[in-house]
């Protein structure tokens, strides 16, 4: 029975970093993925669902019951586009991103909405489809020529737990969640950095393990043991070599770290940029804290400046390094928040779940900046113009990555499934958002 990456981690056979290499010991796809303008995706997942009215679809004329104390909209460097008042740094970067203000799926439950947005599929099918990151891992990972020691699908820092990101593709294409906190020194990445264990001690452990490996010396020529030994060497190369240093944010200047914000989200954005530089094709930043049923505006005054600083720094830094054109930055959550503030008890000024109309932001990777797609109504309650489904967004991202939307998606039932998710209601297959491509 083959050992999965998680089995290797739990057994401690080659250290927890052994999880990284099981993909490379498995079968490969026959053909490599086609090339595209975009080479990588950084997904900023707003875990819990951000308010569209307080961020990228402000409604300053809707009144206090809708805006609360955040009633101002501010201009951006893109003509005619305004954003929420607590996003002044992003306002200066608006020429680099496009806002989709007409996202809709009508789902108000976290689990099913998260599934719909990240897979582009309607919940309720007997199959659990893989998320976009798992499909990119399938088509741009080890099966398609990726040779990095860092896994091709990284989550900073913990999995959502809302659904299986890899779906029916299985654990081979699941993300590796780093754990730890990039705002701490060291950034204790699971299986790579162990607080309190020096590099010298780690090398001593490796030497002791090799000295005790009498089986490997006795059974020469075993393909399985040779593959296992290679995986062990790669694991230690990641822990002790140059590859693992991608997570060492102390290599960045204090000025750069401060530019992103010395908090978990800001430093996650910095880590994502470093991973893109190493060629990792898909990185998700799971940014918790947006399920604001209570104390919404107090939380917004704390969270939105962090979002503003980290997101704006990421866009500017990628651009300055010549990486933005090849890196898609995808911002959004599972839904928006109720446009009308819930002043009544027990919420006392909170916002609930709202899947009828919400916003998504796309930047880089061939997507145009300084544009708005669609519109919600005057109060942000319903889509007024050009409804966009999660399938449309994912299909557009896949197109920019150069993935063949008609390629067959392998599945355990042998069904005739395509890489591109289908738009709801029997609409045509998801296609590019041509306005911003």
What percent of the chain is modeled with pLDDT above 90?
Answer: 71
Cα distance from N-terminal residue to C-terminal residue, the chain? 46
Q: Which two tokens stand for residue 14?
A: 């080659």
Mean pLDDT of 85-105: 97
Q: Across the chain, what does the average pLDDT equal?
A: 85
Listed in sequence order, the residues at least 6 apart from 21 whose beta carbon sits closer than 8 Å to its beta carbon are 5, 149, 231, 234, 235
Look at residue 147 and tell me whether its pLDDT is greater than 50.
yes
124 vs 49: which has the higher pLDDT = 49
Q: Which of 133, 130, 132, 117 is nearest to 169 (CA)?
A: 130
Pairing of strands 336-337, 73-75: unpaired
pTM of the model: 0.84
Q: Which tens digit of pLDDT belongs to each residue from 287-339?
A: 999 999 999 999 999 999 999 999 999 999 999 999 999 999 999 999 999 99
Look at residue 226 and tell me whether its pLDDT is greater than 60.
no
Q: Which of 105, 66, 55 is nearest to 357 (CA)?
A: 105
Number of H helices, E strands in the chain: 13, 14
Look at residue 45 and tell me whether its pLDDT is greater than 60.
yes
Mean pLDDT of 164-188: 93
What is the set of domains in the chain, with CATH numbers? Answer: 1-30+196-246 (no CATH), 38-193+248-436 (3.40.720.10)
Look at residue 7 and tell me whether its pLDDT is greater than 60.
no
- CA distance to 325, 336, 355, 404, per residue, from 139 (Å): 20, 31, 30, 10
34 vs 371: which has the higher pLDDT = 371
Q: Which tens digit of pLDDT belongs to each residue from 259-273?
A: 999 999 999 999 999
What percent of the chain is modeled with pLDDT above 70?
Answer: 77
């Amino acid at each position: 029975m083959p050992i999965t990456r998680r089995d290797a981690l739990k057994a401690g056979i080659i250290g927890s970093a052994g999880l990284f290499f099981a993909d490379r010991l498995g079968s490969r796809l026959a053909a490599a993925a086609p090339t595209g303008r975009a080479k990588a995706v950084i997904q900023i997942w707003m875990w819990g669902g951000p308010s569209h009215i307080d961020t990228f679809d402000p409604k300053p004329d809707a009144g206090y019951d809708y805006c609360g104390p955040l009633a101002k909209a501010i201009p951006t460097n893109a003509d005619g586009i305004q954003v929420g008042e607590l996003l002044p740094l992003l306002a200066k970067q608006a020429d680099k991103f496009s806002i989709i203000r007409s996202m809709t799926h009508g789902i108000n439950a976290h689990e099913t909405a998260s599934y719909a947005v990240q897979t582009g599929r309607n919940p309720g099918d007997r199959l659990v489809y893989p998320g976009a990151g798992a499909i990119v891992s399938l088509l741009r990972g080890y099966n398609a020529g990726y040779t990095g020691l860092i896994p091709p699908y990284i989550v900073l820092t913990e999995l959502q737990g809302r659904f299986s990101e890899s779906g029916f593709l299985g654990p081979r294409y699941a993300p590796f969640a780093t754990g730890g906190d990039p705002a701490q020194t060291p950034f204790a990445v699971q299986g790579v950095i162990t607080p309190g264990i020096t590099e010298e001690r780690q090398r001593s452990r490796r030497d002791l393990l090799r000295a005790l490996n009498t089986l490997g010396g006795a059974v020469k020529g075993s393909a399985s043991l040779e593959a296992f030994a290679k995986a062990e060497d790669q694991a230690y190369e990641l822990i002790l070599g140059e590859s693992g240093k991608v997570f060492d944010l102390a290599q960045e200047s204090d000025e750069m770290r401060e530019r992103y914000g010395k908090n978990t989200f800001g430093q996650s954005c910095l880590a994502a940029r470093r991973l893109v530089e190493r060629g990792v094709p898909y990185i998700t930043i799971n940014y918790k804290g947006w399920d604001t049923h209570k104390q919404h505006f107090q939380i917004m005054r704390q969270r939105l400046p962090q979002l503003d600083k980290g997101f704006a720094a990421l866009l500017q830094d990628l651009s300055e390094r010549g990486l933005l054109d090849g890196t898609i930055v995808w911002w959004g959550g599972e839904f928006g928040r109720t446009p009308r503030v819930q002043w009544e008890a027990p919420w006392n000024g909170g916002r609930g779940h709202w899947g009828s109309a919400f916003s998504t932001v796309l930047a880089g990777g061939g997507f145009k900046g300084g544009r708005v797609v669609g519109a919600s109504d005057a109060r942000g309650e319903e889509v007024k113009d050009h409804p966009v489904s999660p399938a449309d967004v994912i299909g557009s991202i896949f197109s920019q990555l150069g993935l063949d939307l008609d390629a067959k998606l392998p599945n355990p039932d042998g069904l005739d499934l395509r890489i591109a998710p289908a738009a709801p209601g029997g609409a045509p297959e998801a296609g590019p958002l041509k306005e911003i491509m």
